[in-house]
Amino acid sequence: MSILSVRALSRTYHQGTQTIRALDGVDFNVDAGEFTALMGPSGSGKTTLLNLIGGLDRPTSGVVEVEGRPLRGLSPGALSDLRLHRIGFVFQSYNLIPVLSAYENTEFVLALQGVPAAERRERAMRTLAAVGLAGMEGRRPSELSGGQQQRVAVARAIAGDPALVLADEPTANLDSHTGAELIELMARLNADQGVTFVFSTHDPKVQEAARRVVRLVDGRIDGDEQRAP
Amino acid sequence: MRFLLAMAWRNLWRNPGRSAITALAMGVAVALSMATLALQDGMFSEMFQIMVEQQLGHVQVHPGGTRTLENTLHHGEALTERLEALPSTLAVSPRVQGFALLSGEGSAVGAQLVGVDPAREPAVSPLLSKRIRGEALPVSAARRVLLGYKLAEKLQAEPGSELVVFTQGADGSLANELYTVAGIFRSGDAALDRAGAILHYRDLQELLVLGDQLHSLTLLARDKTALPAYAQQVRDALGDPSALVQTWREASPETAEMMSMQDASSGVVLGIVFVVAAFGVLNTMAMSVFERTKELGILRAVGVRPGKVVGLIVLESLLLSGVAGLGGLVLGGALDLYLVRVGMDLSSASSDGFSFAGVMLNPVIHGEVRPLGVLLILSSVVVVALLASLFPAYRAARLDPVEALRAE
């Protein structure tokens, strides 16, 4: 079943007198349990596509449906609720809340979801252990390495049990070894816990882990291949 | 909520210097406002005591019509006792007034004679306690007089000196009597100190040939906040429609007006706190939101509703004002305690005390603390901090998440 359905999606920006077509009629579905890489050079529209899917940005035309629910017409508050409950985000530059510890960054999403305190604690601890950060729960982002921070970001994204995790160039700020470890972690979470991932990258090594690779060029889909795990 | 509170508190101290300076400025503004308000209240309270309780009383009874020597309240003793019997009456003081020429050692000076009952007057006003030299007026009439200190200087009179009092009685006859100076007073009322002579009302009734008649009755009510109702009770008890019964506000509108300046000047003090708090919070929160653009974008991206972002910024501002208010309260409390116990000594500016609106005030001003005033200062800081944070909070909530995430 499709968790995500994108139809004829376009997004144009105006810069002075220039019109930039960041996305140009993209059609794209994601089923539950997929581990999909969006490949493409800088400026091909990967980030724009992920922002539109997550409801952070609004399309110029076209449709985005998450679990059959169209995003068009949702208020900023309703979009916030959708992200909180159904979509996890991992960003290129970690983007943790600096005043919260690793544990609190993870627990924060659960608290916003209204999960009771005892369950929250258990789930946050379990999630941090699953991303390999047991024992580092009390550290603030400034006390963690880049790879560790990105693991916290993954923990925060999956803690709330979303239908879909969107990761925008999650390995871009990491060295190749740490980047490979992170993708391995995401692949394991996908295989073991069935978390659906859509991540963008332009690193050919990273895409090797993906079971589906969607290629974007100049805002259009240029290829969509399934791979054996 | 716990998360927002923890985040707000920690965010506040991410730039400890900036938050501390803002909190310090607000705290000092609170403390200084508390001290200024205490001094003002102390000064107005002394003025109220001198101008209202000492001179006007809460309610006055006069005969209707023009105030002349002959226009009097009859059956003075019976009237006084009837008003004393009212349950809401605290005290009643009968008064007789006149003018006379006082003649002492070689000089003669015009004076205002004030006849009071030495047994009743202390319950109504502190007038008789303002004696600085000599003896008190005896409780029964004995042709003794207290002189204002400036009048005594002009007459070169001291306690024990003899004076001749020349005046004209209500029946037109001329009277002159020999009086002994009992003591010298200094009331703080400039006119009375310059020309006032206080004597037993029975002596003055005899001198002016008034029998049992009075010129006025000065009353204190048990509840000074309900004077119009009390004045009506007095009217009913008198049963004399020609008598003029007035509260002190009616009897002296100019005094009432001056007392209302207390509220106006409190307003000025509060205004200062408002401005300091508003600019401090606005600057701190606006900078803080600007610096955290990306972080606010993250919050929006992980699903924090715009309303909660507003809540976070407002909460930070409330915590800041709370810290400032608490610090200000401690500092201001210490200042107030000092002002109440020790007071502020202005005698270096004028050893005589200083005059304000015709009232000589004590050169050492003692503070008076009204809990409501302190509460008003504190709550105004919080309310202003809340209002000043709304604009930065609104901007934070309106951030475009994509733009915000791109910020460095």
Are B216 and B312 part of one and the same domain? no
Q: Is A166:A198 a contact under the CB 8 Å cutoff?
A: yes
State which of B193, B208, B242 marks the end of a domain: B242
pLDDT, residue B57, reads 86
pLDDT, position B175: 87
Inside any domain, residue B39: yes
Q: Each residue of B174-204: b (16+ CB within 10 Å) or e?
A: ebeeebbbbbbbbbbbeebbbbbbbbbbbbb
Instruction: For residues B266 and B386, state if they share a domain.
Output: yes
Assess contact for B20 and B320: CB atoms under 8 A: no
A35-50: average pLDDT: 92
Handedness of CA A40, A41, A47, A49 (dihedral sign): negative
**Residue B277, pLDDT score:** 77
- The tokens for A85 are 């409950």
Least confident window among A4-13, A18-27, A212-221, B274-283 = B274-283
Are residues B235 and B139 both part of a single domain? yes
> pLDDT 10s per residue in chain B (408 long)?
778 888 889 888 888 888 898 889 889 988 988 998 898 888 888 877 777 777 788 999 999 888 888 889 999 999 999 999 999 999 999 999 999 999 987 688 999 999 999 999 988 887 888 889 999 999 998 899 999 999 999 999 999 999 999 999 988 889 889 999 999 999 888 889 999 999 999 999 999 999 999 999 999 998 877 889 999 999 999 888 888 999 988 888 887 887 777 777 778 877 877 787 788 888 888 888 888 888 888 888 888 999 999 999 999 999 999 999 999 999 999 999 999 998 888 776 655 566 666 666 777 888 889 888 899 889 888 888 888 889 889 988 888 888 888 876
Minimum distance, in Å, between the CA of residue B303 and any CA atom of chain A: 4
Query: Do B265 and B382 sit in the same domain of this protein?
Result: yes
Test B295 with A98 for CB contact under 8 angstroms.
yes
Distance CA B138, CA B148 (A): 17
Choose among B7, B306, B405: nearest Cβ to A76.
B306
Task: Please give the tally of structural domains in chain B.
Answer: 2
Please report, for residues A35, A181, A205, B399, the alpha-carbon distance to residue A177 in angstroms, rounded to integers and kept in the order given: 20, 6, 11, 36
Strands B354-356 and B144-148: unpaired
* Neighbour-count burial of A68, counting CB atoms closer than 10 A to its CB (0-12 exposed, 13-18 middle, 19+ buried): exposed
The fraction of chain A above a pLDDT of 90, given in percent, is: 66
Q: Give yes or no: residues B236 and B380 share one domain.
A: no
Distance from CA of A52 to the nearest CA of B (A): 10
Q: Are B243 and B62 in contact (CB under 8 A)?
A: yes
- Among the partner-chain residues A54, A83, A111, the one whose CB lies closest to the CB of B3 is A111
pLDDT digits (tens, 9 = 90+) for A192-208: 888 899 999 888 877 88
> Within a domain: residue B252?
no
Helix (H, G, I), strand (E, B) or coil at B220: strand
HSE value, Cβ hemisphere, 13 Å, CA-based, for B333: 9
Question: In this complex, do A76 and B3 lie within 8 Å of one another by their Cβ atoms?
Answer: no
Structural domain contains residue B111:
yes
Kindly identify which residue of chain A lies nearest to residue B295, measuring between CA atoms: A97
Strands B144-148 vs B174-185: parallel, antiparallel or unpaired: parallel
| Closest partner CB to A109 (pick from B7, B11, B302) | B302
Q: Report the half-sphere exposure of B362 (CA within 13 A, side-chain side).
A: 17
pLDDT of residue B353: 60
Q: Which of A107, A112, A156 sits opposite B304 (nearest CB)?
A: A112
DSSP bridge pairs for B200: B116
Query: What's the pLDDT score for residue B358?
Result: 61
Task: Please check whether residues B210 and B293 belong to one and the same domain.
Answer: no
Please name the amino acid found at residue A4: L
Size of interface A-B (CB pairs under 8 A): 70
Give residue A207's pLDDT. 80
* A100 contacts A50 by C-beta, under 8 angstroms: no
Strand partners, B131: B185
C-beta atoms of A98 and B402 within 8 A: no
Q: pTM score, two decimals?
A: 0.73
User: Distance between CA A155 and CA B297 in Å, rounded?
Assistant: 19
> What is the predicted ipTM?
0.89
Report which of B31, B69, B7, B365 is spatially closest to residue A98, judged by C-alpha positions. B7
Please answer yes or no on whether A57 and B10 come within 8 Å at the CB atom.
no
Measure in Å the smallest separation between the Cα of A77 and chain B Cα atoms: 5
The backbone torsions φ and ψ at residue A23, rounded to the nearest 5 degrees and listed phi first, read -130, 140
Q: What is the pLDDT of residue A105?
A: 93
The residues, ordered by sequence, that sit 6+ positions from B308 with a Cβ below 8 Å of its Cβ are A112, B4, B299
Q: Could you tell me if B276 and B145 lie in one domain?
A: no
Residue B193 lies in a domain: yes
3-class SS at B86? coil
- Residues B220, B73 within the same domain: yes
pLDDT of res. A229: 60
Q: What whole-number distance in Å separates Cα of residue B117 and Cα of residue B127?
A: 11
Return phi, psi of residue A145, to 5°: -75, 170
B331 and B355 both lie in a single domain: yes
Q: Testing the interface with A: which of B13, B302, B312, B316 to mutate, by most A Cβ within 10 A?
A: B302
The answer to whether residues B269 and B388 belong to one domain is yes
**Residue A77 to residue B306, Cβ atoms within 8 A:** yes
Is residue B251 assigned to a domain? no
Domain membership of residue B276 as a residue range? 2-51+259-406
Contacts of B3 in chain A (CB under 8 A): 104, 107-108, 111-112
CA A108 to chain B, closest CA, distance in angstroms equals 7
pLDDT of residue B357: 60
The CA distance from B317 to the nearest CA of chain A, in Å, is 17
Measure B339 CA to nearest chain A CA, in Å.
43
Say if residues A213 and A227 touch (Cβ distance below 8 Å): yes
For residue B346, the model assigns a pLDDT of 74
Mean of per-residue pLDDT scores for chain A: 91
Shared domain check, B221 and B122: yes
Please report the pLDDT score of residue A12 as a whole number.
94
Shared-domain flag, residues B303 and B157: no
**Minimum-distance CB partner of A97 among B295, B308, B402:** B295
Q: Which two tokens stand for residue B54?
A: 């000492």
Contacts of B401 in chain A (CB under 8 A): 56-57
Task: Tell me if B56 is assigned to some domain.
Answer: no
* A217-222: average pLDDT: 92
